[in-house]
Structure formats: C-alpha cells, structure tokens
C-alpha cells in the first residue's frame, strides 16, 4: 500500500475550508471510500500525488486531456499567449481561430459562441432553444447529466416518463416541472411526452453517447434518427450535449460518428485542452438569435479568454492527424478486453460498454447494461469501490464512481495498457482471495 500521508493532511485541511474538501462533488471519493489524492503534477498518461505516488490516469481531468497531460505544444502555446495578456474582455484573433476549427470539425455547427464551462454551454443552449421556439418545456433523459443549471437537475420518476421533480435542494419545483424526462433509448416515452404537451416542447437534450451513468450504448433501432424525426415533425430543436463525447468519439463527435445532425451542439472539456472552455453552436438561423444579433441574452467576462482559446487551438489542431482516433480506439478496445478477461479469470461477473476512446466496466450479473437503472439496481457498487481503491494501490487512477466513463489518451502507450490489465488482475485476485 502506498503512503498517502500528505494527501490525508491536505484533505483534512481542505475540509475545513471547502464544502466536502472539494470544488466538485465526485472528487471527494464519497461513493468509493478512502482519501482523495491531491495531485501535484502530471505528464503524458501519468499523474503524481503530493506523496509522490505515480498513477496511470484514465480520468484525464474528466475527459479534456485527450493528448495526455502537459503536451509540450499546448504548454508552449499557453505560455506564449500568457506573456501577451491573460484577459482583455475585448475580441482577440484567437477566438476566430478556435471558432474556425470548431466549425470545420463539427459538421452541424455554422456559428459558435464560446463560454467557460459545459454547464454554461447547456444552460445557454436551453435558453436559446426556448427563445427560438417560444416554448418553455424540454425533454431530457433519465440519468443524462447536462451540467448543474437548475432545469437539468431533474431525474425521471421510476420507470415511466414523468414530470420532473428536482434532484437538488434549491431548484424550485415549479421550474423543474418544465423539465420532462424519459428513459434513454425509449422512443415511445418521447412520443407520449410530445402527445401530452402538444406545441409546448422547445427541445430534446440528449447525450448521444451517455457517459454520466457510465457509458451507455444506443440501441440499434436508430434512436437518434427517431429523435431527429420527432423534433422535425413537432417543430422542436434537437440538442446534442457533446460536452463529453465531442472530439472524443471522433474528430466531429458523435454526430459525425453516427451521421445524425442536431440543431444545436454543446461542447466542453476537450475544446479547452484543460482550460475552462465551453461552447454552443449550430444552425445559423438559430444562433443569430443570440445577443447582440438577437433577443436571447448571454454574456461572459472571461468568455473567449485568450489562454483558454490557445489551449483549445493547440489541442483541437492535433486531433485531425490521420489514424488518431483509430489508435485511441484500438488501445481502448485492448484495455477493455484485458479488463474483462481479468474479471473472468477472477470469477467476478462484469460487462463493459465502449464507444471509441471512452468506456465503463460494470460489475454486474447482467448480460448488458443499457440504462441508468441497470447501474443503480444491478451493479455491485460496493465492489466497484473496493476495486477502485485496489487499483489506486496498484498505481492506476480511475474515476471514483461506477457511474462514470474512463478515457484513453494519445499519450497512453501499449505498455501502459498492458500494465493496467496486469494491475487489474492483481487487484481482482486480492479482492477475491
């Protein structure tokens, strides 16, 4: 077992000063137990904690670090830009360069607006959809996470689609009623919601590769195409939340991978290469409704910040190398296979969902995990916690929750992948001894 004395001291101190000792809840290790590691530095596929333990990192800052940590060109670019001014609160040319890259890469985006986080992107896109359609209600899917704005913190009632109830204290129940929810992959539930709320639904929000319940797969009946068709028929907008899967499952995101075009797309994570950037974009006719072109207000003191733009430019421009995504996917597939073989050898029932370079291994007796309630009702969350901590001891950093995706980066080598598989076999053997 590695020493974690300094992380423990830091966490005790942080708990006195910050709610739960953290600035974002899952970092607190509540669902897996143990002490959160405080990180001191990172390079490529590795992170080091304040006790100088090294980990192979499959969190990658929750997705952004697709090139690996501290990529020399990204660091150099940010340093150059910092020396010229950290923030102007006025237009700069880097905004044009990143906008051009995003528009070139993401097929459905004609015009884009930069913000500072994925949450800002989704809440702004929702306001825009409401402003454009003149309707107030919207649909999201059970377990879909679209950031922490009030209207998104709503879960579905058990099973059937239902009117929303707030998932967090502080969200007015009256406001949450505008959020309609349906189970993912359930097109009948979506049709029913439209039938029951004729002419009132502004948009459907969907993670085209759900990652916030652990990775989920689309069923094979063309769910996204059916959503596209319903939106067209009902005069509602289809909004892809590609904050996690954008630039991750292909250079053009899920819409390129699956060939379905949304009206609006929300982006985050990779688009900022590790600095705080979000964006929403889409059809010109809709995007021109945003202030100052149109009546939908949205603004930001630090939006389009030069450092963040430069980190995004340096990151995105390195994703278009031929074979980049094929290589990420090949390594991810090998890792998933190896992890499942390790589970089988240890007699631990498990299944995995993978799309491109994102995956989740679920500890379950089920043959397939297809929705959020499969995770809550049929996955061994306690065993996940033990596995997570055993992997930490083996020098592998996974997301501290069964409800999360893991991410491969370009910096992970085949040797890292094999070492991770071997580490998992040792961890599973210890846990089942």
Which is catalytic among the residues 137, 140, 269, 331?
A: 269
Per CB under 6 A, the segment of 90-98, 118-126, 378-386, 406-414 that binds ligand PLP is 118-126
Residues of this chain, 47-86, that bind ligand PLP according to CB under 6 A: 62
Q: Which is nearer to ligand PLP, 36 or 147 (CB)?
A: 147
Residue from 279, 276, 246 nearest 78 by CA: 276
| 54 strand-pairing partners | 48
Residues of this chain, 133-162, that bind ligand PLP according to CB under 6 A: 145-147
Residues of this chain, 261-290, that bind ligand PLP according to CB under 6 A: 268, 278
51 is known as an active-site residue? no
241 is known as an active-site residue? yes
Q: Is 212 in the site for ligand PLP (CB under 6 A)?
A: yes
Q: Is 117 in the site for ligand PLP (CB under 6 A)?
A: yes
> Residue 256, SS3?
helix
Per CB under 6 A, the segment of 6-14, 164-172, 207-215, 320-328 that binds ligand PLP is 207-215
Q: Which is nearer to ligand PLP, 147 or 274 (CB)?
A: 147
Helices 306-316 and 93-105 pack at an angle, to 10 degrees, of 30
The Cα angle at residue 392 between residues 388 and 396, in degrees rounded to 5 = 95
Length of the chain: 433
Choosing from 74, 98, 111, 243, the residue that interacts with ligand PLP (CB under 6 A) is 243
To the nearest 10°, report the CA torsion of 130, 148, 161, 222.
Answer: 80
110 is known as an active-site residue? no
Per CB under 6 A, the segment of 104-112, 227-235, 240-248, 339-347 that binds ligand PLP is 240-248
Q: Is 207 in the site for ligand PLP (CB under 6 A)?
A: yes
Q: Which residues of 325-337 are buried (b: 16+ CB within 10 A; e: fewer)?
A: beebbebbbbbbe
Q: Give the nearest distance from C-beta 64 to ligand PLP in angstroms.
A: 9
Q: Is 404 in the site for ligand PLP (CB under 6 A)?
A: no
Whole-angstrom distance, CA of residue 354 vs CA of residue 333: 8
Whole-angstrom distance, CA of residue 240 vs CA of residue 125: 10
Helix locations, 53-205, DSSP H: 72-84, 93-105, 118-133, 173-176, 187-196
Catalytic positions, written as ranges: 145, 241, 269
Kindly list the residues in this chain that would bind ligand PLP in the complex (CB under 6 A): 62, 117-119, 122, 145-147, 207, 211-212, 241, 243-244, 268, 278
């Amino acid at each position: 077992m590695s020493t974690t004395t300094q992380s423990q001291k830091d966490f005790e101190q942080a708990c006195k000063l910050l709610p739960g000792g953290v600035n974002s809840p899952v970092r607190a290790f509540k669902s897996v137990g143990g002490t959160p590691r405080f990180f001191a530095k990172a390079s490529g596929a590795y992170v080091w904690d304040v006790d100088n333990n090294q980990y192979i990192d499959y969190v990658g800052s929750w997705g952004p670090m697709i090139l690996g940590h501290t990529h020399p060109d990204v660091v150099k670019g940010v340093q150059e830009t910092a020396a010229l001014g950290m923030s102007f609160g006025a237009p700069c040319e880097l905004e044009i360069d990143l906008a051009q890259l995003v528009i070139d890469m993401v097929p459905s985006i004609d015009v884009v607006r930069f913000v500072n986080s994925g949450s800002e992107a989704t809440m702004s896109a929702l306001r825009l959809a409401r402003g454009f359609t003149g309707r107030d209600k919207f649909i999201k899917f059970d377990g879909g996470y679209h950031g922490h704005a009030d209207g998104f913190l709503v879960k579905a009632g058990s099973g059937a689609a239902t009117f929303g109830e707030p998932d967090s204290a502080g969200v007015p129940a009256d406001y949450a009623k505008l959020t309609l929810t349906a189970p993912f992959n359930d097109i009948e539930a979506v049709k029913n919601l439209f039938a029951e709320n004729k002419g009132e639904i502004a948009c459907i929000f969907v993670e085209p590769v759900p990652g916030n319940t652990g990775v989920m797969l689309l069923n094979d009946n063309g769910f996204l195409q059916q959503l596209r068709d319903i939106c067209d028929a009902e005069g509602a907008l289809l909004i892809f939340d590609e904050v996690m899967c954008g630039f991750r499952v292909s250079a053009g995101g899920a819409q390129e991978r699956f060939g379905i075009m949304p009206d609006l797309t929300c982006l985050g994570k990779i688009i900022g290469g590790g600095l705080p950037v979000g964006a929403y974009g889409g059809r010109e006719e809709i995007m021109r409704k945003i202030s100052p072109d149109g009546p939908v207000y949205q603004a930001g003191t630090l939006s389009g910040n030069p450092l963040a733009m430069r980190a995004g430019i340096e990151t995105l421009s390195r994703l278009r190398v031929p074979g980049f995504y094929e290589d990420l996917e090949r390594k991810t597939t090998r890792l998933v296979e190896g992890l499942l073989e390790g589970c089988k050898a240890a007699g631990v029932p498990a299944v995995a969902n993978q799309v491109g370079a994102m995956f989740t291994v679920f500890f379950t007796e089920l043959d397939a995990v297809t929705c959020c309630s499969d995770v809550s009702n049929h996955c061994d969350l306690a065993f996940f916690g033990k596995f997570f901590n055993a992997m930490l001891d083996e020098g592998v950093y996974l997301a501290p929750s069964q409800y999360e995706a893991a991410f491969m980066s370009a910096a992970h080598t085949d040797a890292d992948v094999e070492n991770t598989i071997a580490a998992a076999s040792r961890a599973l053997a210890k846990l089942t001894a």
